[in-house]
Amino acid sequence: MEYKHFSHPHNLNIFKVQQGQQFPCHGCQSLCQTDSNIYACWSCSFFLHEHCGNATRYLHHPSHSLHPLILIPSPTYCSGAFVCNACGNTGSSFGYCCALCEIDLHVNCALLPTKITHKSHQHDLKINFREADGQKGSPEFCKICSKAMGSKKNWSYCCVENGCDFRVHPGCGTTQVNLGWYQGMDPEDDKAPRTSETQTAPSPAPAKSDPVAELLDLQLQMQMAQQFAQLMSSFNPASLV
């Protein structure tokens, strides 16, 4: 079976990772785990986790309810990298972004569950997209890895119980990702494609009369304008003399 992904020119084959094999995912830049299904282009050494390959082209995410987040295969910044608003780490491959608000998320961060349980704590943990009200006394260090929590703008998992100051990094709380977390928020036409003998490109964008489609077009235009402005700012007329 083959699959066509918008980020790669060739058809991808579905493959199950065997013991001892290591393939880096071009979507999230982490290794594909043993016994997991991946999408592979062997001639290009291009690999995608199943969830990265099936990530929806745009996403309505509760962390940014104003606009949909667009999935792009590589950052549009001149540095070739972005800083994830969720975890604070950089990324140079797939990302969900809002060019209007300069929001960038790793695919894995965008697909984190809103509530989890962890063996190190007796209560449920809920994700906070911003510093929670009244958390001035919350710990400055992650209760799991003991490292600094980083910027207050980054996400964290916090205990749902009042008076409990248990707070951890998103990546320390869970590595679980699932397309279904926000699937109900996605437009019907943009669900992950079903596997068939040969997959075609993802479903076309909504009609131009759709406000979401108009916003997506505007974001793409802004990204192109940003790239052009960066190119012009780096241009030196003296080099032509």
Same domain, 147 and 105: no
In a domain, 216, yes or no: no
Q: What is the pLDDT of residues 34-58, one digit of tens each?
A: 888 999 999 999 999 999 999 988 8
In a domain, 207, yes or no: no
Average pLDDT over residues 215-231: 65
Please give the pLDDT value at position 116. Answer: 93
Here the CATH number for the domain that contains residue 17 is: 3.30.60
pLDDT at 93 over 90: yes
The DSSP symbol for 197 reads S
Say what the pTM is. Answer: 0.74
Q: What is the pLDDT of residues 172-181, one digit of tens each?
A: 999 888 776 6
Same domain, 122 and 106: no
Same domain, 17 and 77: no
Q: CA 171, CA 163: separation in Å to the nearest integer?
A: 23
In the structure encoding, which two tokens stand for residue 32, read together? Answer: 């594909």
Same domain, 104 and 157: no
Alpha-helical runs (H) found in the chain? 50-53, 107-110, 170-173, 211-233
The range of the structural domain enclosing residue 88 comes to 55-110
Q: How open is the CA angle 29-33-39, to the nearest 5 degrees?
A: 70
Q: What is the pLDDT confidence band of residue 202, given thresholds at 50, 70 and 90?
A: very low
Average pLDDT of the chain to the nearest whole number: 80
Average pLDDT over residues 183-196: 39
In a domain, 215, yes or no: no
Number of domains in the chain: 3
Same domain, 97 and 135: no
Same domain, 127 and 141: yes
Same domain, 38 and 98: no
Same domain, 62 and 100: yes
In a domain, 73, yes or no: yes
- Note whether 151 and 129 are within 8 A (CB): no
pLDDT at 187 over 80: no
To the nearest 10°, the Cα dihedral for 152, 153, 157, 163?
40
**Among residues 135, 161, 183, which one ends one of the domains?**
183
Same domain, 127 and 179: yes
Q: Please report the sign of the dihedral spanned by the C-alpha atoms of residue 98, residue 103, residue 106, residue 108.
A: negative
- Note whether 26 and 48 are within 8 A (CB): yes
